[in-house]
Structure formats: C-alpha cells, structure tokens
Amino acid sequence: MKTIFFSVAFCTFVQGFLTSYNGKGLDINCWTGETTTALQKKYPDLQFEGIDSRETVIQVAKKRYANMNFTRMNLEDNSQSIDTMFRLIQISNYQELPTLLERAWASVEDEGLLIVKYHIKDATIIEQYKHLLLPTECHIWSDRQTAVWRK
C-alpha cells in the first residue's frame, strides 16, 4: 500500500487527534513523503519528519519535498531513536508487526499518540494489541484501517 492513496483523506481523518498537540511528529514508513508533507501543510505548527528503511524512496522524498526532513532509518532494528510527541506508522511491509508496535509505543512520550495506518491483513494483530500490550485508550476504525493509542 502506498501513502499516496490515502494521504489527503487520512490527514483530514487524524485532524481531531492532532489539533491538541504541538512539537514533533514522526511518519514511520513514509514512502516518498506524500503523507508527511500533507500533514505538515495541514498542521504548520507541528514539525514532521519522515523515515523509511529504503534509501531509494527517501531520496525521492528529498527531491520532491526539499523543505521537509526525511531520514533513512529502520525502526525494527532500534538502532536510532527520535523523541516525538506522536508517531504515525503506515504499515505495508514490516515482517515483525508486534515488535514494531512495541518499539514504537515505547518511544512515544507521555500523553502522546501512536497512530497506525494498517493493511487489512493485519487487522487481527491490531485488534489483539488494542488492550493486550498497549493497555491504554485505543480507538480502531476498521473501515479506515486506522488505530490510535493515547498514552
């Protein structure tokens, strides 16, 4: 699933969650930066950074959106961290989804958000994590394949 298919609708959908936040947001698995950039335009008071494990897509994002921050990083190996108030994960190719969710959740600041845009095939895992390992306020919109946890 590519971010370009849902970036505009998704930015509108998460509006209710992001309007009360300030600071930094991290778009994990940002692909070529469409959603990262759309979020930055919609929420100019926030600072967004996009990360992806694939150098080729990061280079495309940097060329398309030179004024944005994009970094090649693999959250699964947990070798780097970025402090953020909220994390947005667009899941499309992660093999170890449970580990990814745990690591992303651990890095969310107190009172922060973890917003997960998932593929329909991962709905069962997301539902299991609703209260199992992330025992906080959680909202799941299966029709939009999105889950939001508030720490």
Torsion angle of the four alpha carbons 93, 2, 84, 127, in this order, in degrees rounded to the nearest 10 = -60
Domain boundaries, the chain: 21-150
Whether 11 has a pLDDT exceeding 80, the answer reads no
pTM for the model: 0.73
pLDDT in tens, 37-54: 988 988 888 888 898 889
Task: In whole angstroms, give the CA distance from residue 58 to residue 140.
Answer: 29
The matching CATH number, chosen from 3.30.10.20, 3.40.50.150, 2.40.50.180, 3.40.50.300, for 21-150 is 3.40.50.150
In the chain, the percentage of residues whose pLDDT exceeds 90 is 14
CA dihedral 13, 3, 151, 84 (to 10 degrees): -120
